[in-house]
Amino acid sequence: MITCFNDRTCQEIRDILQHLNSTRQRCRLWYGDVITGKSWNEENDVLGRVGNSTGIQKIPILVYSKRSYGGGAILDDCIIRIDLTTGQTLYKHPGFTLGTWDLIPSQGPDSLTAVYIDRELHSQHKTMKQAERFYQFMTGLRYSK
């Protein structure tokens, strides 16, 4: 089956996505700046199996689970890293970086644990354990939130 990719997508990523489509292995995608390798730190729609859209021009989509009927289009020209959910990295941009992460613990009973990336607030969590799990997911140390 022929899949249509963005013209700016490198051949290595095209080949990996085609392979993942045929093997139906679960993967984790990182999107970012393909020139610098800086991650956009996306947390949604980055896990699943590669599939093809329906229609005349088949584009790569990310299908969340075996029970899913469809998924969102993959931004194949913005991929800077691809991992299998078993932990194997299939592709990594030479300059891949996630930025500087800081987890600031809560100070009071009603305050939240803050996660900063490059000194900007990215998310808040009720407990330090939740913040740590989020950090592990976002950095590829775990493949579930």
pTM flag (> 0.85): yes
Q: Give the residues across from 115 on adjacent strands.
A: 103, 123
Q: How far is residue 49's CA from residue 22's CA, in Å, rounded to a whole number?
A: 10
pLDDT at 1: 60
- Report yes or no: 128 and 103 within 8 Å, Cβ to Cβ: yes
Of 28, 4, 7, residue with least CA distance to 91 = 28
User: CA separation (Å) from 57 to 1, 10, 51, 53, 68?
Assistant: 10, 19, 13, 8, 21
Average pLDDT of each block of 10 consecutive residues along the chain (145 residues)? 86 96 95 97 95 90 87 95 96 96 83 92 92 94 86
pLDDT at 68: 82
pLDDT at 144: 83
